[in-house]
Amino acid sequence: MNSILERLENPGFPLAEIRDDFSYLKLPGDPIIYFDNAATTQRPEPVLKSVVNFYRSENGNPLRGAHRLGNLATEAMFESRKTVANFINAKEKEIIFTKNASESLNLISYVWALNNLKPKDQILITRMEHHSNCVNWQFVAEKTGAELIYIDINDHDYTLDMADYEAKLSDKTKIVAFTAASNVLGCIPDSKKIISMAKSVNAITVVDAAQFIPHAKVDVKDLDCDFLVFSGHKMLAPFGIGVLYGKQELLNEMPPFLYGGEMIEYVDDYSSSFTGLPYKYEAGTQDVGGMVGLAAAIKYIEKIGMNNIAAYEHALTSYAYEQMKQLDFVDIYHAKQNNTAPVLAFNVKNAHPHDVASILDYYGVAVRAGHHCAQPLHRRLGLNSTNRASFAFYNTKEEVDLFIDALKNVLNIMHLD
């Protein structure tokens, strides 16, 4: 605990200055303790200013106009793609901009999976998946006749059951799709090992990094994954901007996902040819403002330092976990491993999560209530729903202490003691 407290006292970055960048902390009325970061993060002033500046002084349609504003918008798109590519160590043409991680996963499902899977092929996903990396594979299985198989979790520590993965992996496995960090249990699977094992049977690997990439460094070349997806809004960027990374050779082989302007090379009356990467998958006018915001968010995170963020958030989550463990009226569902994502799913005994969240909100604490778009996982745990507190680098130990006090008030208000 001493090392945890030391990290919270000395986070490795100017926490007070960082918090000053977040305007939600300055709203009139009582302060908000925002512990719903796994759903979406708050946006710092430098990100907001970058988006406003784009629309004020660089607003043109990219890749089309030959005028100054069109050129500025095109340059903003180019620079944003370069920033994202460098952030995950990819080629610029391997970065496809989408609306969010869900759309990125749908693109893979529609364009690669529907065109390559056949009856008796197998798709492996984990029991921890967000619906975005589950429902799409149900659809693919239904349309192709492939079999959808779930990799289980370990009951004793809420981690991924790698023995179960090894047992279910076979020559029939064509896709292994998995979360890099559970949005409920906080489990961080061994991505490199999962990918390496998948490659031993020539399966395509799809990594949902939406809950991982805001908190730790990602290197797609080191991972050697085939596809990786994430959403901007979970890492300080605006809503409506997401990323699909795909290996160049795979993207080149795949047909377009959407059809329309800018992704074409030549259009005849009854046939068309299509341009190359990455524009082949970016039909129509793109959300350049969102791209600019995502690039600004990446620069903001990198200025703080991914290692600093990871260490501080780990300390904050560990501290909260230790404090919650002392509350005998709280059940916690959190992976028991050295490194976890900064989320804590829990229930107050004999209380509905929505009631708990409403009371916490009365005390100024924002947490999530529900199944967190992970119904198969909750069903596996024997639960209908849970509360979830999720942390970011702009949260503090003092906020955790107030959260713990608010939890005690839940007990008193609902007369559960």
- Note whether 100 and 283 are within 8 A (CB): no
For residue 240, give the DSSP letter: T
Q: How confident is the model at residue 417 (pLDDT cuts 50, 70, 90)?
A: low
Would you state the structure tokens that stand for residue 243, as one six-digit string? 């990323």
The question of whether 187 is a catalytic residue gets the answer no
Of 130-144, 180-194, 262-276, 280-294, the poorest mean pLDDT is in 262-276
Q: What is the pLDDT of residues 374-408, one digit of tens each?
A: 999 999 999 999 999 999 999 999 999 999 999 99
- DSSP strand pairing (368-370 vs 204-208): unpaired
Decide if pLDDT at 353 tops 90.
yes
Is the pTM value of this prediction over 0.95?
A: yes
The continuous run of DSSP H or E covering 76 comes out as: helix 68-88
Calculate mean pLDDT across residues 359-378: 98
Helix axes 306-325, 2-9, angle to 10 degrees: 130
Q: How confident is the model at residue 342 (pLDDT cuts 50, 70, 90)?
A: very high
The continuous run of DSSP H or E covering 163 comes out as: helix 162-168
Q: How confident is the model at residue 226 (pLDDT cuts 50, 70, 90)?
A: very high
Q: How confident is the model at residue 244 (pLDDT cuts 50, 70, 90)?
A: very high
Q: What percent of the chain is modeled with pLDDT above 70?
A: 99
My answer on whether omega of the bond before 278 falls inside 30° of 0, hence cis, is: yes
Calculate mean pLDDT across residues 163-185: 98
Q: What percent of the chain is modeled with pLDDT above 90?
A: 95
Residue 61 sits at the vertex; the CA angle it makes with 57 and 62, to the nearest 5 degrees, is 95
Q: Residues of 128-167 as b/e, b for ≥16 C-beta within 10 angstroms?
A: bbbebbbbbbebbbeebebebbbbbbeeeebbbbeebbee
Beta-bridge mates of residue 386: 370
Q: Residues of 40-59 as b/e, b for ≥16 C-beta within 10 angstroms?
A: bbbbbeebbebbeebeeebe
User: How distant is the alpha carbon of residue 105 from its chain centre?
Assistant: 12
- Note whether 155 and 162 are within 8 A (CB): no
| CATH class of the domain at 48-302 | alpha beta
Q: Does CATH place domain 2-35+305-412 in 3.40.50.10860? A: no
What is the pLDDT at residue 416? 63
Q: What is the pLDDT of residues 43-84, one digit of tens each?
A: 999 999 999 999 999 999 998 778 999 999 999 999 999 999
- Of the candidates 386, 412, 408, 413, the one whose C-alpha atom is nearest the C-alpha of residue 185 is 386
User: Residues 134, 187, 225, 373: which is the catalytic one?
Assistant: 373
Calculate mean pLDDT across residues 363-382: 98
Decide if pLDDT at 217 tops 90.
yes
Distance in angstroms (rounded) separating the CA atoms of residues 68 and 260: 24
Q: How confident is the model at residue 1 (pLDDT cuts 50, 70, 90)?
A: confident
- Note whether 71 and 60 are within 8 A (CB): yes
Would you state the structure tokens that stand for residue 322, as one six-digit string? 């230790």
Distance in angstroms (rounded) separating the CA atoms of residues 149 and 373: 19
Beta-bridge mates of residue 277: none
Residue 415 gets the label, from left (phi > 0), alpha (psi -120 to 50) or beta, of left
Residue 241 gets the label, from left (phi > 0), alpha (psi -120 to 50) or beta, of beta
Mean pLDDT over all residues of the chain?
96
- Note whether 356 and 410 are within 8 A (CB): yes
- Label residue 111 exposed, middle or buried (CB < 10 Å: 0-12, 13-18, 19+): buried
Distance in angstroms (rounded) separating the CA atoms of residues 318 and 334: 11
Residue 351 sits at the vertex; the CA angle it makes with 349 and 354, to the nearest 5 degrees, is 130
The domain limits of the chain are: 2-35+305-412, 48-302
- Note whether 96 and 107 are within 8 A (CB): yes
Distance in angstroms (rounded) separating the CA atoms of residues 101 and 373: 14
- Note whether 407 and 360 are within 8 A (CB): yes
Decide if pLDDT at 31 tops 70.
yes
Calculate mean pLDDT across residues 9-38: 96
- Of the candidates 113, 101, 88, the one whose C-alpha atom is nearest the C-alpha of residue 229 is 101
